[in-house]
Amino acid sequence: MLTSTFMHLPRAGPKIERAIWNAGIDSWWAFLEAKEVPGLTARRKIAYDLELRRANEALESGDHTHFAKMLPSSATWRMWPQFKDDAVFLDIETTGYYGDITVVGLYGENGTQMFVRGKNLDKEAINEALSKYKMIVTFNGSCFDLPVMKRYFNMEFTQPHIDLRGVCSQIGLKGGLKAIERTIGLARPDELVGVDGYQAVILWDLYRRTGDENYLEKLIAYNEQDIVNLKPLAEHAIPLLWKAVRSGKIGQK
């Protein structure tokens, strides 16, 4: 995906990328080997050659920051194949009030890490955990999880971010995470079936009022299932979106 992408080149939007593909050039190396590219001046071809060599160097060195700066946010999902092993899946729970975080869940190569209010919900600890990863993956994180964390912790995120809600929407998978999971056959443990964001708020409130750890354990299990299921969802949805974009069935913004 990434090495067939040209949207990170200066002034190279979807139309130029599509023209490059239509010319039979489907990789950075094919572009570099081509003596000329239809629609591009010789000067621009030279400039793009230079940028593609820089991109290849960044890819070989695992420099995710290069692509975070160069790729439009709508195309960061194309980094998935190269950086998926360095991705962290993130989800938060709140009291129901915007910005009032109760749980932050992270899942990646280091396993699951749960940060809970009153126990270990600490900005520095979360930042340290996130620093080990090169990509953040969420479901609806652009509208909710990341803005809420920025407000609550005064936190900034340097990694490229893939919001799977947008990815899924483009290939016709609509609705919330649980509905999409059912559509593609992702199962949840029986004790978590039917638990949703509203119930998560209730579980926190019951735990806060009673001190019963069982409520907290169920809330944590629910959040953990959310983040664990994001990985197979990404593995299902991202290749389908790439196939649709390459075939021209979906136009990339």
Encode pLDDT of 210-245 as tens digits: 999 999 999 999 999 999 999 999 999 999 999 999
User: Do residues 107 and 188 both lie within one domain?
Assistant: yes
User: Do residues 56 and 135 both lie within one domain?
Assistant: no
Of the chain, the percentage scoring pLDDT greater than 90 comes to: 87
Within a domain: 18: yes
CA distance 160 to 149: 16
Number of domains in the chain: 2
Tokens of 69: 């700066």
* Domain CATH number, residue 174: 3.30.420.10
Domain that holds residue 49: 2-61
Q: Which of residues 10, 28, 61 is at a domain's end?
A: 61
Within a domain: 250: no
User: Do residues 96 and 200 both lie within one domain?
Assistant: yes
User: Do residues 215 and 108 both lie within one domain?
Assistant: yes
User: Do residues 154 and 211 both lie within one domain?
Assistant: yes
Q: Which of residues 31, 61, 91 is at a domain's end?
A: 61
* Domain CATH number, residue 38: 1.10.150
Within a domain: 249: no
User: Do residues 44 and 100 both lie within one domain?
Assistant: no
User: Do residues 48 and 141 both lie within one domain?
Assistant: no
Close Cβ partners of 51 (under 8 Å, ≥ 6 residues apart): 8, 9, 10
Within a domain: 209: yes
Beta strand pairing call for 111-116 and 101-108: antiparallel
**Whose CA is closest to 219, among 103, 139, 117?**
103
Encode pLDDT of 47-106 as tens digits: 999 999 999 999 999 999 999 888 998 899 999 999 999 999 999 999 987 779 999 999
